[in-house]
Amino acid sequence: MTDDLGLDRRPEGVDDATVEAVGKLSEALETIEEVRGRLYGLHRLTGSADLALGDACDQLRAAGHGALADQLERDLVGRNVLAGRWTFQVVEEFDDGYYANFKRLEQQVRDELMQGRRHVFEAEMKADRRTEGRAGHEATPDDVG
């Protein structure tokens, strides 16, 4: 597969129903990609919150509230977000399991049905919806004048 296919990406002999079905699979993968990004966001934000919590404990202790700082450190700083897991472990399990399997199977379907070509459905939608010859509606970057 090449990335310079432009809008004419449909392999010869592939019917509309197949293009639509593979397009729907691509849509599902894109949603999982967004989920993955949000999961990494959860990971980063949870880590930042834990570090800020540690700073708050230090400040509480410095302000004379050692017992409360001790309780927060004991019960919350470094706590698992899920049973036995910090968020890096959640991310790794997601990446190595569900996400890897989804990516592998989506690639398999594209390889078997679309000669590995990506976004065939979207390329045909663009070809259908753009205004030929109109600025901002070029088929590819090479067509920009």
Q: pTM of this prediction?
A: 0.85
Angle 16-62/87-94 helices, nearest 10 degrees? 170
Contacts of 18 (CB under 8 A, 6+ apart): 113
pLDDT of residue 6: 82
pLDDT of residue 2: 40
pLDDT per residue as tens digits for the range 3-17: 456 889 999 999 999
What percent of the chain lies above the pLDDT cut of 90? Answer: 91
pLDDT per residue as tens digits for the range 28-78: 999 999 999 999 999 999 999 999 999 999 999 999 999 999 999 999 999
The domain ranges of the chain are: 16-128
| CB contact at 8 A, 19 and 10 | yes
